[in-house]
Amino acid sequence: MSATAVCAVAAVSAGFTVANAGTGTGTGLKAQAGAALQQKSATSGVELETWLYGGSTGDSECTAASEYADNRVKNGALKPEYWSVTGKGKVTLESATSGSCNGYSAANVADLKAHSAYQYPTISGMTTADVHALVSSSANRSAAVSQLSSLVSSAGLSGVDVDLEDYWSWSTADFSNYKTFLGQLATALHANGKKLLVDAPAMTEDASFYDYAAVSAEGVDELEIMAYDEEFDTPDGSRCLPITPYAWLKQVTQYAQSKVPDPSRLVIGLPSYGISAPDPCDLNNVTGNIQFSDMKKSPGFSSNASTIAARRDPSSGEIRWVSGGTLYDYVDSTALNAKLAVLTSLGVTKVSVWSLGGGNPWFTG
């Protein structure tokens, strides 16, 4: 998911879910999640993936490579953003030579391979206009399929991660053409022994704009559910909901499993970032995707253990506080472990984290 995608993904769930996961049932799930912290490793039996996106030299995004150098996904997957979709439906390569620190280059590809079992570069399209321009044109679809499949084959990468968003604004024709594009891309990739991953919105019930089962049926090898940004479901006049409450995470996961029952083809995405928002919540003024390096600069931030414990939200494990009329919320390693425990209790075997860079927290153990 690209840096600009966070609010777009959140708005998907805002459009149709009614679950208020910040209350009640989070307590039991917290206890269940906490039990996993006693295990030798919080990530035992889970294949981990993570996204990373481009930045200019010196940007916090550019610490991603130094973070995955600890081999945290040595047996899993790295997903760097290598392409973006333009308003004319063309696919642009984001390369290191053009100034993107995590973009495509032979050296960056070699580094990815040294620190992961699989590499799935991402194609990102964040607006309905861009997506429409790509998928509604047979010529644009064919050109994109050729461009994407050619690069992953020549570079010896594992496949492609498709992150085309703004789902709730798509027309019926857009969704149909999107599926056609995915089918064409899957065919081209599979012919060369490569895989297709597709990023999908968090849903708790059927919706008119997206269908997990129909998308998976187009030859998608892994459907990646972006289970975060539930704050955009906050009722008017209330404090913003957490980024990923336990109860909501369970709902999202169980719904996805009902549509994609094969655990090897389903990936649940978890957040590693922070947000800030007016208190009470103003959905038009939520700042999302705040990296930890910037979160530490927020008014009232504390690294004191007792303060962190007092601020830890029981419904999500997240660290939340209010300063100067603004709510701050971030996911730390303890919260990540606890959310992962919810997933493993449901039989999830593949998990992806948004995102690396800026010292964003990772699982412990």
Residue 337 covered by a domain: yes
Q: Which one-letter amino acid corresponds to residue 32? A: Q
Here the tokens at position 362 are 């990772």
- C-alpha 14/C-alpha 203 separation (Å) is 10
Q: What's the structural domain count of the chain?
A: 1
pLDDT of residue 99: 87
Instruction: Give the list of residues 6+ apart from residue 328 with CB closer than 8 angstroms, or none.
Output: 274, 275, 276, 295, 298, 299, 300, 301, 320, 321, 322
Q: Over 291-351, what HEC string results?
A: CHHHHCCCCCCCCCHHHHHHHECCCCCCEEEEECCEEEEECCHHHHHHHHHHHHHCCCCEE
Residue 181 covered by a domain: yes
Start-to-end Cα distance in the chain: 26
Give the burial class of 329: count Cβ atoms within 10 A of its Cβ; 0-12 exposed, 13-18 middle, 19 or more buried: buried
Neighbours of 18 (CB within 10 A): 8
pLDDT of residue 57: 87
Torsion of CA 330, 68, 147, 211, to 10 degrees: -40
pLDDT in tens, 91-136: 999 999 988 999 999 999 999 999 999 999 999 999 999 999 999 9
- Put residue 360 in one of left, alpha, beta given phi > 0 → left and psi -120 to 50 → alpha: beta
Range of the domain at 143: 3-274+332-354
pLDDT of residue 23: 37
Neighbours of 209 (CB within 10 A): 18
Neighbours of 323 (CB within 10 A): 13
Here the tokens at position 105 are 């280059």
Query: Residues for the chain: how many in total?
Result: 365
Residue 312 covered by a domain: no
- C-alpha 300/C-alpha 9 separation (Å) is 28
| Number of continuous H segments (helices) and E segments (strands) in the chain | 12, 14
Residue 282 covered by a domain: no
- C-alpha 361/C-alpha 344 separation (Å) is 19
pLDDT in tens, 45-73: 999 999 999 999 889 999 999 999 999 99
Q: Where are the alpha helices (DSSP H) in 81-199?
A: 106-114, 128-135, 138-155, 172-191
Q: Which of 76, 79, 59 is nearest to 121 (CA)?
A: 79
pLDDT of residue 41: 73
- C-alpha 165/C-alpha 2 separation (Å) is 10
CA atoms within 13 A on the CB side of 29: 30
| Domain of residue 23, CATH code | 3.20.20.80
| Cis peptide preceding 216, ω within 30 of 0 | no
Rounded (to 5) percent helix, strand, coil in the chain: 40, 20, 40
User: Is the distance from CB of 353 to CB of 263 less than 8 angstroms?
Assistant: no
pTM: 0.91
Give the burial class of 58: count Cβ atoms within 10 A of its Cβ; 0-12 exposed, 13-18 middle, 19 or more buried: exposed
Residue 324 covered by a domain: no
Residues of the chain with pLDDT under 70: 1-40
- C-alpha 144/C-alpha 136 separation (Å) is 12
Residue 99 covered by a domain: yes
Taking all residues of the chain, what is their mean pLDDT, rounded to a whole number?
91
pLDDT of residue 1: 53
Backbone angles phi, psi at 161, to 5 degrees: -110, 120
Q: For residue 222, what are the β-bridge partners?
A: 197
Residue 127 covered by a domain: yes
Residue 302 covered by a domain: no
